[in-house]
Amino acid sequence: MSQDSASVNRPLPPPLTRTIISIAAPPLIAAIVTAFVVNLTGVSTGTLALPSVFLGALGLASWYMGGNWYGSKGMGLRGGRPFYAGAGFAFLGWIVILIARLSFVGSNESQFLQEPLFPTFMYLLLFEAFAVQMWAFGLVFRGISDWRGPLTAAVGSGLLFAVIGLYIFQESYAFSAGAALYFVVWGLFYGLIRLRTGSIIGIIIVQAMQSLTAWWILPPQLPLSPATFSPLFYTVMGIWYAILIWRLWPSEAEDYRV
């Protein structure tokens, strides 16, 4: 097991134990923090503020644990060529999702730019992108990689990203089999980018920009109906992500960038 120079030289738990802790501990900490905030403030459990509390605690717990175990580079916080490569691949997904969004999802024109852009972008960047990816593609990816190998780590961390995205992300507008498949292939796409480039910084930034441009600047018509939210959106995006996954799928161990 290799660690970057920023990691702390101390004995680590066995890989399986580390994987279990990585998957279970941050969400548990986040749930406890969220429950504490609810009891302390009396905020309704349905308020939009609570996902921010949960995701923020999830990201901070993952960042702290991963920083102590693997160091920043080991968590995927790499700049330079890994950053540009990861951002480039993620950008290909962003462009097509914008085209599909404009083609298959009706927009609520009266709500254009109702939300202030900078605070919205910072929420998407820090909570929906950074926090979730620090857990899935940083902490959990490294644990699974040391236990079962990098390719299994890319798939497993991608599935975790899909689950939390489907239930918490603001762009999860239509809960259906098509939506679930869309989030799964999206997670696998990002997991393979993490595997092939060794960096999550690019996909963090692109994810935030993708959500901002596709779902916040252009909010969909609500309530959703087949006339305003065509199932073809998820079909097209699923096919496109599948093509990108096929192109990114590693053919040999030298393609791994853990």
Domain assignment present for 2 = no
- Write out pLDDT tens, residues 15-69: 999 999 999 999 999 999 998 988 887 666 555 567 889 999 999 999 999 999 9
**DSSP assigned state of 14:** P
Cα 124 to Cα 14, 27, 88, 102, 248: the distances in Å are 34, 19, 19, 20, 26
Whether residue 2 is predicted with pLDDT greater than 60 in this model: the reply is no
Q: Which residue has the higher pLDDT, 214 or 25?
A: 25
Does the residue 206 lie in any domain? yes
In a domain, 8, yes or no: no
> Does a structural domain hold residue 85?
yes
DSSP letter string, 155-194 = HHHHHHHHHHHHHH-TT----SHHHHHHHHHHHHHHHHHH
pLDDT band at residue 117, thresholds of 50, 70 and 90? confident
Token pair in block for residue 30: 């986040």
- Rank 84-98, 168-182, 224-238 by mean pLDDT and report only the highest: 84-98
Largest CA distance in the chain: 58
Domain that holds residue 42: 15-255
Least confident of 35-44, 87-96, 188-197: 35-44
CA dihedral 183, 122, 200, 133 (to 10 degrees): -50
Say if 1 falls within a structural domain.
Answer: no
φ/ψ of residue 189, rounded to 5: -60, -50
With bands split at pLDDT 50, 70 and 90, how would you rate the model's confidence at 147? Answer: very high
Confidence (pTM):
0.91
**Is 184 inside a domain boundary?**
yes
pLDDT for res 71: 94
pLDDT of amino acid 252: 86
Q: Quote the pLDDT of residue 32.
A: 95
**Across residues 204-214, what is the average pLDDT?**
94
Average of pLDDT values for 214-227? 80
The confidence score (pLDDT) of residue 225 equals: 75
Candidate ranges 69-78, 162-171, 225-234; pick with highest mean pLDDT: 69-78
39 within a domain of the structure (yes/no): yes
Alpha-helix runs per DSSP H in 45-149 = 49-69, 71-74, 80-104, 117-123, 132-133, 141-148
Q: What tokens were used for 241?
A: 């992500």
pLDDT of 226 higher than 80: no
In 3D space, the residue among 59, 81, 86, 79 whose CA is nearest the CA of residue 202 turns out to be 86
Q: Which of 200, 55, 181, 218 is nearest to 128 (CA)?
A: 55
pLDDT band at 175 (very low <50, low <70, confident <90, very high): low
Q: What is the pLDDT of residue 47?
A: 53
Higher-confidence residue of 51 and 75: namely 75
Asked, for residue 5, whether it belongs to a domain, the answer is no
User: In the chain, how many domains are there?
Assistant: 1
Q: In the structure encoding, which two tokens stand for residue 231, read together?
A: 């199932």
* Overall average pLDDT of the 140-149 stretch: 96
- Whether 26 and 62 have beta carbons less than 8 Å apart is answered as yes
Q: Give the residue, 220 or 63, on which the prediction is more confident.
A: 63
| Predicted local confidence at residue 215, as pLDDT | 87
Give pLDDT, residue 5.
45
pLDDT average, residue stretch 178-201 = 94
Residue with token string 């083609």 = 103
Helix, strand or coil for residue 229? strand
